[in-house]
Structure formats: C-alpha cells, structure tokens
Chains A and B, each alone.
Chain A
C-alpha cells in the first residue's frame, strides 16, 4: 500500500475477525484503518492475506503483519486437538482378562466362603480343639469369605504391571538403539517417545500416510522429456545425460531450443546469484524449480530477473525477454502461461505449461497430439509428474485487445477468479505443443518395497495428502500403493454438491462390492470436498466403503479431515498408524493409535508430536515387522505367564484349603508368598524380552506372519484359557504329589509348604524354558540362575532362627525323597505339556512353527517368497508400463491365511463379508490370475 516502513507502527485500525476455528481454508475478516492513513474503508481480508502458524517465508526476507490468533487459538493450534492417553490393544486385552480373573476370584471366594461356613457348622463345631465360640459376633459369617478373599488376592498378579512397564521401556530402548534405523544421511536415530505402545506396532491394521516428505523426498527432479515426438531419457532414465538430447542442444534444433526456453521462462521462479557467482533458484513450486534447473543444465540458463525483464543465456549468447503478463496457475485451470516479448525482435509469445488434459485439447487444428498423449501416458505409468509445454506467437493487436480485457478482469471485485480464468481462456488456444516434460518427485529409498512388504503383511494403506489428485494417484502407482490397470482399479468419488457426491459414492460402493469377489486391487480416490460431504451426510456408506477397500487415496484433505479419517477407522475398531512429517499431520498423528513422525525437511513438528520418530519411511517396515512384532509376542507371553504363575500358587492355596477344613489357612507363609511374585518368578520371564521366535530375516521374507499379531492370535481369551488350564493342571500335579509323598510322619506344615513351593519354582523354570524360542546366555542365566537363587534365598532364610522356616530348607535338601519329588513334579507337569506341544508343533503347526522349522533346519523355504528387490533404478530403466505390476501369483496371498482367522470376532463391522469372500474364493482367484497374467 506504499506505506513507509517507519510509519508502520503508527497505523491504527481494527480487524474484525471470526472467533478461532480450525478451518485453514477460510478466513473471512475485515480490516478498517483509521485516518489519517487511509479512509475509513473496509478491506476484506481472506485466507490469502494470512500467514498460518508454522509456515515458512520463501523468496521473501520479511513480511509485516498483525497477529490475529495466537498460541493454541491459531488455525493450526485449533487443528491440533488434545492428545488422548493411548492404550494398546494388548493392554486392553490384559485388562479384560484381569476383569475375568477378578470375577473368577469373586466366584471362588463366594463358593469357598459358603462351603467354609457350612463345614464349620457341620464339622467344625465338633472339633473341640478349635474351640469355636458358641455364639459368634454378627460378622462371623463373613470371616471365612474374607479369609479366602485374602488368600485369593494373589490371583491377580500385581507384578504384571511392573514387569510390563519394565519390558516396555526396554522395547522402546531397543528402538532407540537400533543401528539399522539410523538415517544414513543425517545420522538421526529412531526414537520412541511413547514407551508404552510398542505392542500396538505389531497389531497395526491401517497405515495412514502423508505423501510429500513422507513417501517422497520432497525433491523434484526433471527426468525425461518428449520433444516433438522424440523421447529423450528413455535409455538411461535421465534426459539430462541423454547424448541425443545434448546433441540436439548443441546443434541448435529449433524445437528443442523452444522447449528449453519455455522451461526456463514460463514460471515464477526467481534466480538468486550468490557471491561466488553460482545461481540458485527460489520457486514457489518445486516443479518449476526442477524445470529451470534442468534447463540450466542444458545450457539454457535463466540468469536474472529484474522487474519484468528476464535475462537468459543460451550457449553463452544472452537473450532478453520482457514479461508482459502472467496467467497464474489455479487448480481449476491446471495450467499457467506467460506472455513475453522478445526484446530483440519485439515479437510477442504466449508460453504455457500445464497438465496434459488442459493443454492438449487446445492445440491448433492439424497438430498431431497422439505422440504427446502417449508420452504422457507412458510417463504417468512410471509415476512421473508430467507437464505439457506449448507456445503460440501472438499478434500485437490481438495481445493489446486481450491485455485490456485482462486488466479489467483483474480489477473486478465479484467473482474475480472466474472472470480472470475466462479471459485467460480467450488467449490460450491454438497452441503448438512443444513437448512433454516428466518430473520425478523422488520417492524415498525403499518406499515401494516397504509398502509392498507391509501390504503383504496384511496392512491396509491409506494415503492422505494435501496434494492434487493426479499427483497423488501417480505417486500411489509408483510406490506399489495401488496396482496399475488390469489388476488394480481406481474408483473416484467426486462431486461438488451433495447429490453428486452421493451418486458417486454409491456407484463406487457398488463397484467395490462387486469386485470384491475378484482378485482385484480396488482403491478409491476421494478429494477433500467430496470427503467433507461424505463424512457429514453419508457417513454410513462411506464407512462401509472404508472397510471394504484396502486402499484409499484422499487428496486435498485438511489436517482435521485427516484426523477425522483416523477417527473413522478407529471407530470401526481398527488399529491405525498415522505417519507424516509436517505440521499438518500432527493432528492425525495424535489421533491415531500410533503416531509416527518423520524427522524430515519440514521440521520436527510431527516428530515431536509422534509416538515414534524415524528418519526415513522405509524404517517403518522394521519398526512394525521387527520391533512391533517382537514386542507383541513378548508381551503376550509375559502377561499370560504372569497370570499363569499367580493362578498356580493360588490354586494350590485353594486345594490346600480343602484339606484344612475350608478354614482359609494359608499353606505358604507370607515371606514365601511375597518372594514368589517378586523374586522367584519375575526374573526368568523378564528375559523373555530377548526372545525371538523367528529371525528378523525370516520375518522380512514372510511378512504375512504379522497376521498372528494383527489378529491377536497370541493373546486372546482362548490362548489364555490354555494358560489357565496349564496352571490348574500344574497346581494339581504339585499339590497331589506333594501331599502324597510328604504324607504321614513327613506331613509337617512348613516342610510341605516348602516342597510345594519348590515344585512350583521348578515347574516355572521349565515352563519358561519350554516357551522360550531362542536361548541366549542371559536366558540361561535367568532361568537356571533363578532356580539356584531360590535355594540360596531359602537357605539364608532357613539359617535365621527367628523365622518359621528355620532349618527347613537344609532338612529338605538332605532328604533324597525331596529331590525325587522335585523330579517327579517336573516330569509329571511338563511331560504332557511337552507331548501336546510336540503334537501341535508337528501335526497342527502354525505358520510360525513352520517358519521356525524351516529356519532352523535350513529348508527350501528361504528361497521361496523372497521379495524381489524392486529398486527405483530398475523401474527407471524398464519402460514397459507393466514394470510396476507385481510379480505373479501375489493375488492369493491373503486369502487362506485370513480364512483361518478367528479375528472376526474382534471386528465390529463388515468382517463377515470380508472373510466369506476369502473362504469362497480360491478357485475363482486362480482363474482370474491366469487371465490377468
């Protein structure tokens, strides 16, 4: 407005703004400045006048502004939301089991309490030596139940919480320590901020990922081009080093030079010359930067921009242009143009670049556009972003006439954007297409492999991006997100009004339902606008679609929409993981069950808000398949084992109450009971944090095995029932053997108690040993050292005269019958368990067992199912559009595994159809596969 900087602080005025909200696309405010600066006019302020929190100023050193919202009231602050404390599925399951045990405990207490009172009245009063009072106090009936409540209180292991916290923090440490998850470029380590949710990593069902900066490196590079029908860069994957193109440049092929000119001029890039003389480019759009840089490498150097004057240097001969008008890029027009005048010849040109669908139809009649369309098609198949470059020579009159219209349109107040677009259209026609430029938004290393592996592991991917639909689809194609045409199918939901969206949604839903019976990779694509309508008015069909479809691409979505989608999936009882790198992903990261932040180019905002921060997307594979899976397996064992050991000792107490007149006598003394949970049984199981059922290599080769974690196969009521039964069986074994071998003259209370306790400890050691898959030195130390430790502790206690256990352990250790009893207890307790485990292991082996066997025996399995390395370079070299298609026979990957799934109970909506489909499917799948291949 032309106000001197010094006077800025004297401006007085009022900004009328709405109260804080989270819509980052709208800011409808007015500004009124007081005289003397300006008249008391109202200036409309829109989102275009605002700088959002955590935005970066580029190409501008400074800007003056007024802080309208601050702190958590900023648009982004409102979007952020409050993070809820996160509870893992495993924790929820443990809580459920604890509840079940609590109910069981109450039942036991009530039953034994009644039995105790009955026994007391029928038998107990006859025992003169017990001296029951004739008339007890009023609470006498409660005494025995309360005694049993005390006895049974150890049924719920308190130590489980402590043990879990300990091992969880170790899981987190393992993530921090992992050398294979260190970003080699920056040296940034992975970090687990939230130490409590590692198990959830192994149970992820949906991954919602940001695109730019997460999947891609956020670096655009010009890769290929097609100029007047000739393809450059196809042989070696890089047009800049293509000898033919270099040759064409040096010989001065007119088409090529014109193409380069458009690349260099048709943009809003500002060249900055550093002191050393090198030129760097500042651009709003990374695409433009890539084009200008590429042009510079091809000797068309954009040197300077001074106002409207552009200086270009081609082959050391300077060319100067004057920019007359810039026809800006809008997402509707999908193209941008500049009108320039050649300062030497005075000729006026219109130079344009844009998406193929908006440029190709505007050619002059007669030009063949087929090659260009093919080029676009081919490049898109390779996941490259394409831009068509075109130009037209303008006559002076034509331009002048148009320029006045353009000025007028630019100053309209109502519907300006629409008017401008309309005027632009009047100029943009009869193009001569120069060629197609293909730009790669480079995927991060290992992204396609990571996504493929995780998809094989049964994880569904959703891409949520603020980017355009086409770009999103292209990236999705190139990183194995969706399969290209014959196998994959993209269904687009769009529309501006409710009706359109509704129709579109229903059509997509119908198609999805139909194609569900085919081995097709169906993905739906939705943009932010349609998504908002769908979420608001058609939540139910959209939810159904979300469940049916394994893949989705949501483009042009806002941070809060990202969070809403996470919420939607969470409501369907899916475990979600959100991964992103920027401030706009924070909300989604906090909302999801697991938030992963990439500490990338867009700062650390996401990484700070996240539960885990990693340096590169590809570490996600290791995070989930290695750390998540191991954590889940270990916690599953540890928690159930904790219940097992508590139940074991509690069952023995209950049994012993039957031989003590149901009076609630504790067989074990309080020292033993306390030490049982704290010392004797907690140490061996803690080293299960080192247990690995399968090697990392095997898991990476067979990611499908993650299914066992996802479906919660290792910790659920039925596995728990197994442990419950085992503890009951072991309690019977210990109790029966103890009271029979220590009968009659040996049935001294302290001795019997100690024999039973030693029996438990011996069984514990062997149970842990049997359930351990890999013994490191630490495991041996913990398991067998703990057994020795048990004796050492008891010898020490037995040496103190004041304790009730005085000399007990020494006496027992001298008796041969004690040791014989121990061996008998172990053999009787473990024999059936071993036999059952062997039978299941050999004749009803789970997939984990098969892989274990193969791994240890070195079977042929390792050569099968290895994921073919599909690096970017091979993709670049391979021109065939099918280069991204998956290796054969992948279609049947998921069905049989899922068809055995008991997890159906866990899902609230839609699982039935899903699993039915898989069960009925295999024959169908085969026919289709053959056709498709």
Chain B
C-alpha cells in the first residue's frame, strides 16, 4: 500500500500531521553506526593517542610535587603500655620535637596538612551528628536534635557547635622553625570560602563547648565567632575515606633542598585508643593537586591496553578475517549440501 493510497482517503487527511508523521511512523532519519573493525580499532588508537600523553603529563605533575610526610604518633609518646592514659591525662607534657629534611626545593605556597589514618569521619553515627542551622544562625541555637549524644549539656543547655564532629575537633598543633627561626604558618583562608561566608555564622559564638564530663578534642575560643574558626570548618568538612589529610596552614616562603625543619608538636589528639596514625605532611601542589600517581598510572595503563588491543584486533582482522554481514552465516540461508 503506497502512501498515496492512504492520503487519498478523506478521513486520513485530517489526522495526518505532517510535522510529526515521521515520528509517528517511526521513520525519523537515523544514524546507524555498527562496530566495524576500522571503527573499533580507530577508537582504540585514538584512546591510546590521547591517554598516553595525558598520563605522562599527570605523572610528571605528580612527580613535581614535593612532599614530606612524617608519622609522629609513635614517636611522640613514651613507649609504655599506657599510651591512652598518657594522652588522656591533661597534666602530662605532650610537647614533641621532630626534625624534617626538605628533599627538593619547595616553592610557595607550601601546604601543611595533618593526616589521620583509620579515622572514620564517615561513620554513620558521626557524620550525621551536626546541626548546620545552628552553625549559621544564632536563632537556631537550640536545634540540636541531630547532635546526640553531644547536643546539650547535662542541664539541658544547647552546645554550640553541637554534635560529635565538632566535639572531636583535632587539636594537635605544629610550630615550624628553620635554622632556629620560626617559620610562619599562615592559618588564614585554609577553609572553603563558602564555609566562611555561608555555613558558619559571623554572629554565632561557641557556647558550653567541651564543658561536659567527657572531653573530646580541641576547645574553641568563645570570643571568636564561628565564621573565623577555620580549623573547625576544615575539620567539619568530613572526609569520605578513613585516611584523609586536612589543611593545617600554609607556608608563604620557599624552602630550599636539604634544609632542616624543626617541628614542635603538641601531641594532644587521641588516636591511640583505636590504633590510628597521625602524620604531618608538608607538600606543594600542582594543577593536579597533591602528590597522586594514580591518575597518571591509570591513564598510561588504559592507553597502553588500548594500543595492545588495537594491535590484537588488527592482527585478528588480518589473519582471521570474517566478512561482515555474510549471508552464509544466517542458518536459514544455508542450503542443504
């Protein structure tokens, strides 16, 4: 039946909408690509050509990052069996001095991170235990219902900032010195700008914080509004992985190779009860971020695999050709011999 027959019917003409008819007849012009050897091998070669250089770039960027990592949790505690007791005792002197060598020249800005291992900031009980409303607005001071068990003091007063995250604030401090001259660590602008302007209120001051029977981590100066408590902001950007680094501060001068840096650590934070590690990291950054070989290696691997596959497929194509769309492969076309 030709379409002319159809359109000659009066009843049809009305219902026929020319704009949509190709759609209604399922006859929209379509591109029908098929996986020909040329296409697939071409794609693989393109992948290889793109991925290997990017991989090299990423690797070299990562290679250019100079990183000094110093694990101090073991060294900064007397080798007794009473590690937890030691760290929990407020009276003990927890000052600890470490000495680091700069392996290569480090250009400013140099970032100082603390790294915690085996610390589950992403634990369900932990990650939920905060009140964003309370952090932003003094009016919402009492909205602490998510903050259990650190929402209110024993006599029912709201804690600001409430919740387990704030309560467990990291409180080790580092003081750096180079050749007996103090190396300034700039702790300004270490938190996200959006946190300073939109998450932590300029009129919200800490209240009743760390006043309970159980002391968690660091304390906060009750005279400084939350919008300036950048350590808290950094800490409260919870990490998704149990191993994470958080920015402690920035060094605004270059460090030369083989320079010795002395770090004075106040080792206050308890990671001993759960076998967590504490590390001090001093690192530069490139366009790719900190030191991370993973992306570069993966790119190289994918590019290389693509190349190998392209070669294999080409060889297969040459030595074991199989014509596409050969009707003799259709069983119903196979004639009885």
Contact = CB atoms under 8 A, between A and B. Distances in A.
Given A184-B1, A774-B32, A831-B302, A744 B243 contact: yes
Interface in A814-848: 815-817, 820-821, 823-824, 827-828, 831, 834-835, 837-838, 841-843, 845, 847
A663 B123 CA distance: 6
Interface string A838-877: 1001110101001111111101110011000000000000
A73 interface: no
B247 A745 contact: yes
Given A850-B326, A853-B324, A744 B295 contact: no
A487 interface: no
B12 A861 contact: no
B86 interface: no
B168 A129 contact: yes
Contact of A853 (B11, B237, B325): B325
A692 B192 contact: no
A690 B28 contact: yes
A187 B9 contact: yes
A859 B122 contact: no
Given A664-B124, A817-B289, A857-B325, A841 B35 contact: yes
A670 B237 CA distance: 18
A655 to B, nearest CB: 12
A147 interface: yes
Specify which of B126, B127, B323 lies most central, judged by the most chain A CB atoms within 10 Å of its CB. Answer: B126
Interface string B21-53: 100111011111111110010011001000100
A187 B31 contact: no
Given A776-B29, A816-B288, A859-B326, A663 B337 contact: no
Nearest to B247: A745
B330 A851 contact: yes
B124 A775 contact: no
A748 B240 contact: yes
Among A179, A740, A859, the one with the most B-chain Cβ atoms within 10 Å of its Cβ is A179
A190 interface: no
A745 B113 contact: yes
A860 B329 CA distance: 12
B151 to A, nearest CB: 12
A661 B274 CA distance: 13
B59 to A, nearest CB: 12
A930 B335 CA distance: 11
Contact of A741 (B24, B199, B295): B295
Nearest to B217: A129
A173 B25 CA distance: 10
Contacts of A94: none
A661 B24 contact: no
Given A739-B240, A744-B115, A801 B198 contact: yes
A337 B183 CA distance: 127
Interface stretch (B72-80, B101-109, B252-260, B305-313): B305-313
A362 interface: no
B19 to A, nearest CB: 13
A752 B238 CA distance: 11
A690 B289 CA distance: 44
Interface stretch (A228-236, A370-378, A891-899): A891-899
Contacts of A565: none
B305 A834 contact: no
B51 A827 contact: yes
Interface string B293-335: 0110011001001100100010010001011111101111111
B194 interface: yes
Interface stretch (A120-128, A249-257, A295-303, A400-408): A120-128
Contacts of B150: 131
A925 interface: yes
Given A187-B12, A843-B322, A860-B327, A131 B238 contact: no
Contacts, number: 297
Question: Which among B35, B192, B290 has the highest number of chain A CB atoms within 10 Å?
Answer: B35
Given A129-B164, A665-B124, A744-B243, A897 B295 contact: no
Given A665-B123, A744-B243, A834-B43, A824 B299 contact: yes
Interface string B194-213: 10001100000000000000
Contacts of A26: none
Interface in A131-161: 131-133, 147
Contact of B324 (A456, A842, A926): A842
A129 B170 CA distance: 11
Interface in A244-301: none
Nearest to B197: A801
Given A745-B246, A859-B325, A184 B5 contact: yes
B150 to A, nearest CB: 7
B298 A737 contact: yes
B120 A834 contact: no
Contacts of A853: 34, 324-325
B315 to A, nearest CB: 13
A180 B332 CA distance: 28
B179 interface: no
A816 B287 contact: yes
B292 interface: yes
Contacts of A692: 26, 30
The size class of the interface chain B forms with chain A is: 35 or more
Contacts of A55: none
Counting contact residues on chain A (CB < 8 A from B), the size range is 35 or more
Given A129-B164, A179-B3, A847 B330 contact: yes
A127 B47 contact: no
B157 interface: no
Nearest to B165: A129
A182 interface: yes
B239 interface: yes
Nearest to A835: B309
B292 A842 contact: no
Given A850-B325, A860-B327, A821 B5 contact: no
B6 to A, nearest CB: 5
A144 B92 CA distance: 39
A834 B40 contact: yes
Nearest to A144: B124
A793 interface: no
Interface in A202-236: none
Interface string B110-137: 0101010001111111110000100000
Contacts of B216: 128-129
A816 B194 CA distance: 20
Contacts of B58: 820
A788 interface: no
Given A773-B32, A816-B288, A824 B298 contact: yes
Contacts of B217: 129
A104 interface: no
A126 B274 contact: yes
B6 A660 contact: no
A128 B270 contact: yes
Nearest to A816: B287
Contacts of B154: none
A859 B123 contact: no
A796 B49 CA distance: 36
A30 interface: no
Nearest to B20: A177
A807 B330 contact: no
Nearest to A890: B332
B243 A749 contact: no
A179 B324 contact: no
A6 to B, nearest CB: 47
Given A744-B290, A831-B47, 5 more contacts: A824-B298, A831-B309, A859-B327, A860-B327, A895-B331
19 contacts: A177-B24, A179-B12, A187-B11, A665-B123, A690-B26, A740-B298, A747-B245, A749-B239, A752-B241, A827-B302, A855-B32, A856-B32, A859-B327, A861-B326, A861-B330, A864-B327, A892-B335, A896-B331, A930-B336
CB-CB nearest 9 A-B residue pairs: A926-B336, A854-B325, A853-B325, A896-B331, A177-B24, A129-B168, A774-B30, A752-B240, A853-B324
